[in-house]
Amino acid sequence: MATSSPVTKLEKPARNSTLAGAPLLHDPVRNKGTAYSRDDRQKLSIEGLLPHAVETLDRQVERVLAHLDHVKDELDQYSYLMDLEARNETVFYRAIMSDPKRFIPILYDPTVADACEAFGNLYRRPRGMYITRHMKGRIAEVLRNWPEKDVRFVCVSTGGRILGLGDIGANGMGIPIGKLQLYTACAAVPPQVLLPVLFDIGTSNEQLRADPFYLGTRETPLPEAELDELTEEFVRAVEEVFPGCCVHFEDWKGTDAIRMLDRYKDNILCYNDDIQGTAAVALAGIAAGLKQTGGKLQDQRVLFLGAGSAGLGISKLITAELQTKGLSAEEARKRIRLFDVNGLVEASRTDLTETQKIYAHDDKPSKDFLKVVEDFKPTVLIGVSTKPGAFTKEVIEAMSRLNERPIIFALSNPTHKAECTAEQAYTYSKGKALFAAGVQFDEVNYEGKTYRPGQANNFYIYPAIGLATYAARPTRLNDECFIVAAHATADQVGPSMQAKGMLFPSQDHILETEITTATRIAEYMFDSGLATVARPREIRAWIESLLYAPSY
């Protein structure tokens, strides 16, 4: 058990910095804008550079919200908020933390998909860091150009598999930016410890390479061996420049994502949200669903449409939890089936990866998804295929014949990639389905009853993982951290929420939800010896003392 001193609360850069004049107003961290007092305007040589009025922070936020009320296009709202963050970080976070439920869909899914596609046109100023193959041998030197020295999280993406958009290369920078903004917006992790990185290894997207506004390297992606070598240098450079930093892998191509996680998860502090975060949020939804059906995880049969990194990650975490309940790995995997573009993942197939092979059973080959549903009789159906409409009326009706309360997750996003809509799930199942999607669908009224579909989005998991990691400074993040996170999330779905068919907590109080989950994760980190700081007497109170609060 480690015995080092507890982490102390990080403070924002001092407001009484020697920075003054126009440069002060151009520093988003220190800038107070119209909130500077008359005396401060004189002392800091900014008198005359601002309008006459002296405003409170709350009034500044009111202006932001009033402006957004008149901006109807979500992408325009996104652009406005990005510009606001570049001008005044405090107002930006005070605004979005005042109503995360409103701003999560703007800052992240689904609007971020549109922002990524238009990234070259929306680009205004640097945000995060861009690491390319041309920096080989000098990556540590380049990372030292980042102004903050106490970086605790690097969210790094290659842009190789962004949402349902595929390989969009450097346009994918919107993802690590958005992910880290939600660390702060949802879990109050201080923004100065967060570094978004686009690992620009090239793109297979020929249209982007021909686009005159494309901002990435106009090269095809690195071969696997060269990518592995460059990634190794990057990982070691992060360890050297930012000791104790957690590497958050995000939206790498599926095979690269699995390979990198397998390579580094037991050697450095890291995780892959597409694999482990998605797995945990799916497990949370299943656990919440079983509270309503009265079933046990070991009695479930889970069928996936999609056998990429997300489906395999969820399968792995389900297997890991079933092993804690006394099943062998082989027994656990027998309760899982995967179906991809080439049909059922079964033992006779010769096109499977090594990771897929362990879920290939001695079943008859089939390319008929409905027949697989009828034969396997799943209790849980999970879509991670990015194939819109794949959960047809016939599939949902079959699930409803086989189960009194079928659990159906259409996790692909953005919205137009979902395997089915909430309305389809409830209507085709005659109100029986326990449904969640990767995006937030509106409430559905069916035969006089209102159903509130859940959003099985990773923002319930990874900000809490981030907050616990920021506080406890663990050496590693193992599967159990994500299992704990899943059950902590599910346990916050109370009876009143269950009555509406909800499988995830309300987003109205997301910070409280994340703190509760982070507390459970941190408790596990201390109990298991993963934490490297001294255990405080009251873990929740200690975590609350570390939270970022946007204020002057």
pLDDT (tens digit per residue) in 320-332: 999 999 999 999 9
pLDDT of residue 1: 40
Question: What pLDDT, on a 0 to 100 scale, did the predictor assign at position 3?
Answer: 39
Once rounded to an integer, what is the mean pLDDT over residues 126-134?
A: 93
- Chain centroid offset of residue 357 CA: 27
The predicted model scores a pTM of 0.92
At 494-527, the pLDDT tens digits run: 999 998 889 999 888 999 999 999 999 999 999 9
Whole-number Å distance between alpha carbons of 466 and 506 = 20
pLDDT of residue 49: 97
Q: Which pLDDT does position 7 carry in this prediction?
A: 43
Query: Mean pLDDT of all residues in the chain?
Result: 93
Angle at 281 between CA 276 and CA 282, to 5 degrees: 95
Residue 303 burial (CB count, 10 A): 22
Calculate mean pLDDT across residues 62-91: 96
Q: Using an 8 Å Cβ cutoff, are 450 and 133 in contact?
A: no
Structure confidence at residue 265 (pLDDT)? 96
- C-beta neighbour count of 51 within 10 angstroms: 8
Count of H helices and E strands in the chain? 25, 14
Say if residue 105 is preceded by a cis peptide, omega within 30 of 0: no
Q: Please give the full DSSP string across 442-453, using - where no structure is assigned.
A: PPEEETTEEE--
Instruction: Indicate if 462 belongs to the active site.
Output: no
Closest of 405, 409, 433, 429 to residue 419, by C-alpha? 409
Please answer whether residues 164 and 412 qualify as being in contact, where contact means their C-beta atoms are separated by less than 8 angstroms.
Answer: yes
CATH numbers and ranges of domains, the chain: 21-96 (1.20.1370.30), 106-268 (3.40.50.10380), 276-459 (3.40.50.720)
Three-state SS at 407: strand
414 has pLDDT over 80: no
Residue 108: active-site member: yes
pLDDT digits (tens, 9 = 90+) for 248-273: 999 998 889 999 999 999 999 999 99
Pairwise CA distance, residues 313 & 67, whole Å = 41
Confidence of residue 4 (pLDDT cuts 50, 70, 90): very low
pLDDT for res 14? 47
Percent residues over pLDDT 90 in the chain: 86
Q: Which of 462, 489, 458, 521 is nearest to 248 (CA)?
A: 462
Look at residue 108 in the predicted model and tell me its pLDDT. Answer: 87
Beta strand 343-344 with 336-340: parallel, antiparallel or unpaired? antiparallel
284 vs 510: CA distance, rounded Å: 15
Contacts of 538 (CB under 8 A, 6+ apart): none
What are the tokens at 407? 């659990």
The pair of three-digit structure tokens given for residue 537, joined into one six-digit string: 């007497």
Length reported for the chain: 552
Q: Is 166 helix (H, G, I), strand (E, B) or coil?
A: strand
pLDDT, residue 109, reads 80
Q: What are phi and psi of 452, to 5 degrees?
A: -110, 100
pLDDT (tens digit, 9 = 90+) per residue, 292-302? Answer: 999 999 999 99
* pLDDT of 6 strictly over 50: no
Which pLDDT score, from 0 to 100, does residue 413 have?
Answer: 82
Query: CA separation (Å) from 226 to 21, 223, 232, 233, 275?
Result: 47, 5, 10, 11, 23
What is the average per-residue pLDDT within 213-228? 94
183-192 pLDDT per residue, tens: 999 999 999 9
Give the pLDDT band of residue 17 (cuts 50, 70, 90): low
Pick the catalytic residue: 108, 264, 462, 470?
A: 108
Among residues 78, 130, 179, 214, the one annotated as catalytic is 179
Give the strands of the sheet with 194-200, arranged side by side. Answer: 129-132, 194-200, 153-157, 246-249, 270-272
Interval 163-189 mean pLDDT: 92
Mean pLDDT in residue range 1-10: 42
- In this structure, are residues 525 and 483 in contact, taking their beta carbons and an 8 Å threshold? no
Strand order in the sheet with 302-305: 343-344, 336-340, 302-305, 380-383, 407-410, 434-437, 454-455
Cβ proximity of 506 and 517 under 8 Å: no
What pLDDT does 227 receive?
96
Q: Which amino acid is at 354?
A: E
The residue among 468, 422, 466 whose CA lies nearest residue 446 is 422
**Across 405-522, where does the E strand assignment appear?**
407-410, 434-437, 444-446, 449-451, 454-455
Evaluate if residue 16 carries a pLDDT over 50. no
What pLDDT is stored for residue 117 in this prediction? 86
Identify the band that residue 150 occupies on the pLDDT scale cut at 50, 70 and 90: very high
Q: Which residue has the higher pLDDT, 114 or 233?
A: 233
